[in-house]
Amino acid sequence: MYSRMMQRYKLTIAYDGTNYAGWQVQPGKTTVQGEIERAIEQLTGRHVRIHHSGRTDSGVHAKGQVAHFDLKEPVDIGRFINGVNAMLESDVRIMKLEKVRADFNARYDAVSKEYRYFIWNGHAVPPELRLYRLHERRKLNIAAMCKAAEQLVGKHDFAAFTANPQREIEGTVKTIRKLTVSRTRAGDVTICVTGEGFLYKMVRSITGFLLRVGIGELTPEDTRRFLKTGVRTNEVPTVRALGLFLWRVDY
């Protein structure tokens, strides 16, 4: 329970998830949460548990992950950020630290999250992007992908778009506020999805579905079929993690 003697802080965190077994602490594995908690303990001499806005899986990246934690002793914001970052590997960085109200909760106060999935649609991925793009050589029909994406916006049962519907103890109905597909430059295609919350591997499953629409293996009209049946089949693949970024969390 929060003590009046404690100050709550909000962290904004960016990371390259390539070398991590996801966000959440796991015994015997290197995780983003574990490394940040280790760095804070080294700096302050106190073990601090940080609470996230949402877990990311192994290999998933973040530009704007958010977490909160409590400390008894006041800290200098700039020195704290510099001190923690100095103890982290260069693929994890604290981008911002803010004092927040005592009852702020990084997970439950979030009103929406934005994820972006990046695809390289060309013959060869530029080497500097190889860890951050899914490679699809076949030409994508962006207009068809957009038509399918439009039908996923709103409140639906997304059971057909989660890797394990049985694990969703709070149900499989979610609301997508915005879902766009765009070709941002030659070769680069971005899928941007904003929602109140997401199911297990839901964004990667939506991306897999939209890719199949883009290459002509499925049609935009198949969207309603999957939403109606609510059954996960191998028609909806879960794409690899490397192209996925937790882009921002809004409060």
Residue 154, SS3 per DSSP: strand
**Which residues face 97 on adjacent strands?**
11
b/e burial code for range 75-93 (CB count within 10 A of at least 16 → b)? beeeebbebbbeebeeebb
Instruction: Supply 46's token pair.
Output: 């106190």
Count of positions (residues) in the chain: 251
Going by C-alpha positions, the residue among 181, 250, 189 that lies closest to residue 220 is 181
Angle at 60 between CA 133 and CA 67, to 5 degrees: 140
**Annotated catalytic residue within 57, 109, 188, 222:** 57
Q: What is the DSSP secondary-structure string of 66-120?
A: EEEEEESS---HHHHHHHHHHTS-TTEEEEEEEEE-TT--TTTT--EEEEEEEEE
Q: Decide if 70 is catalytic.
A: no
Residues designated catalytic? 57
